Structure 1
Amino acid sequence: MIKATNMTKVFNANKQNEIIVLKGIDLEITEGEFCTIVGKSGSGKTTLLKCLSGLETITTGEIVMNKKNMVGLNKKEVNAFRRSDISFVFQEYNLIDDLTLHENIYLEHPTSEEIESLIDEWDIRKAIHLFPEQCSGGQQQKAAILRALSKKAKILFCDEPTGALDGKSSKEVLSVLQRLQKSHRTTIVLITHNDQITHISSRVVTIHDGKKIKDEQNSRVEIVENLEW
């Protein structure tokens, strides 16, 4: 589903303030895999996620996603691919200020019974017709996650999706992600500081100083509901 070969990312190349963020990373993620990327702050996790998803261009190397060579696509083609095949959950929510939570969740997509059920299950129905600035961080984060799920994309990229949530809400969200992976074979690539999430992942990749230093299959994947939070 996703294959990166000798991927590098350099900011301010050939300038005095040049920063090499990714240093020759090889990574292959199969269809339906729940891959968690971990590492200390500044290790290159977020840049790796952005490069894999096409939000950032890579400096050298190759990325093939769903049989398409992303390096060979122009900006218009990359945007079209992202609209059709990829969903995102950002740490910053990225909700539209003048749309209600409900409007943000669906945008151009039709309403669905599954999403409406999650709105109730996640206890945000009371805020669903409010604007983002009127809602708590947790309510905004849940809306951002539901927006990604409503798209029903083949690949879901998540940047600290439970960062603004308490333990109970984190468990609810991760349970849905795990069900999505199993029932729809959605490929999930998630970066986090939360070690608990590594226990529910089928694959754990560790990044340090822009390099992949560990890549492990999880021999015993835990069910979210069985974990203590």
Structure 2
Amino acid sequence: MIKANNIVKIYNQHKQNELKVLNGIDLDIAEGELCTIIGKSGSGKSTLLKCLSGLEGVTSGQISINDRDIQSFTSKETNEFRRQDIAFVFQEYNLIDDLTLHENIYLENEPTETIENLIDVWDIRKAINLFPMQCSGGQQQKAAILRALAKESKIIFCDEPTGALDGKSSQEVLTVLQAIQKSHRSTIILITHNEQITKISDRVITIHDGNKISDRKNVNVELAELLEW
């Protein structure tokens, strides 16, 4: 489903402050996989996620999703791809300040029983009509995750989706992501520095200083609901 060949990403190329973030990374992620990309801060994992999702271009190399070269997309095709084919959970939440949490969750999508149930299960009903700046980081993070789930996309990119959550909330979110992966054969690419999350992943890729240093299949995938935090 997602293939990357020799991905290089350089910021400020040919300038004094040039910074090479990705050093020729190859990936081949199958449909329906929950793939975790792990690494320390500054390793390049978030940049890789943005490149794979088309949020940022690459300096060289090729990325294809469902045999479509996303580097060749026009601006219109890129916007349609982001709107129709993928969902993204941002580490910075990226909620719209003048919309309530409820409005942020659905945007152009219709409310569903599944999402409304999760609003209750995840205990954010009390904040659902507040604006993002009136909410805690955890409430905003849950809303951002629900916004991605409401799109019902076949590919979900997650940048540190549990970063602002406590152990119980992290377990709830990961349990839902794992369930969606299984029930909808969704492909989930998840960035983290938390080793616990690798236990529920089909695939674990380790990035260090812009290089892929390991890429392994997990033969003993655990259930998120059984993880100990």
TM-score band by shorter chain is over 0.9
1:52 aligns with 2:52: yes
1:147 aligns with 2:147: yes
- Paired residue secondary structure (2:14): coil
Which residue number in structure 2 is paired with residue 196 of structure 1? 196
Which residue number in structure 1 is paired with residue 15 of structure 2? 15
Matches within 5 A, 1:1-229: 1-229=1-229
What amino acid sits opposite 1:142 in the alignment? K
Counterparts of 2:143 and 2:15, CA distance in 1: 41
Deviations 1:104-153 (A, max 9, x none): 00000000000000001101111111111111111110000000000001
Counterparts of 2:167 and 2:39, CA distance in 1: 21
Q: CA deviation at 1:158?
A: 0.3
Counterparts of 1:162 and 1:121, CA distance in 2: 16
- Paired residue secondary structure (2:214): strand
- Paired residue secondary structure (1:91): coil
Counterparts of 1:141 and 1:36, CA distance in 2: 19
* Pairs aligned (count): 229
Q: CA deviation at 1:89?
A: 0.4
Counterparts of 1:9 and 1:28, CA distance in 2: 18
- Paired residue secondary structure (1:109): coil
Q: CA deviation at 1:8?
A: 0.4
Unpaired runs of at least 5, structure 1? none
- Paired residue secondary structure (2:108): coil
| Cα root mean square deviation, aligned | 0.6
The two structures have a TM-score, normalised by structure 1, of 0.99
Q: CA deviation at 1:72?
A: 1.3
Counterparts of 2:44 and 2:75, CA distance in 1: 23
Q: CA deviation at 1:78?
A: 1.1
Unpaired runs of at least 5, structure 2? none
Counterparts of 1:75 and 1:171, CA distance in 2: 37
Percentage identity across aligned positions?
71
Q: CA deviation at 1:76?
A: 1.8
Counterparts of 2:135 and 2:40, CA distance in 1: 30
Deviations 1:11-41 (A, max 9, x none): 1111111111111100000000000001111
Counterparts of 1:162 and 1:123, CA distance in 2: 15
- Paired residue secondary structure (2:40): coil
Q: CA deviation at 1:67?
A: 1.9
- Paired residue secondary structure (2:7): strand
Counterparts of 1:122 and 1:71, CA distance in 2: 37
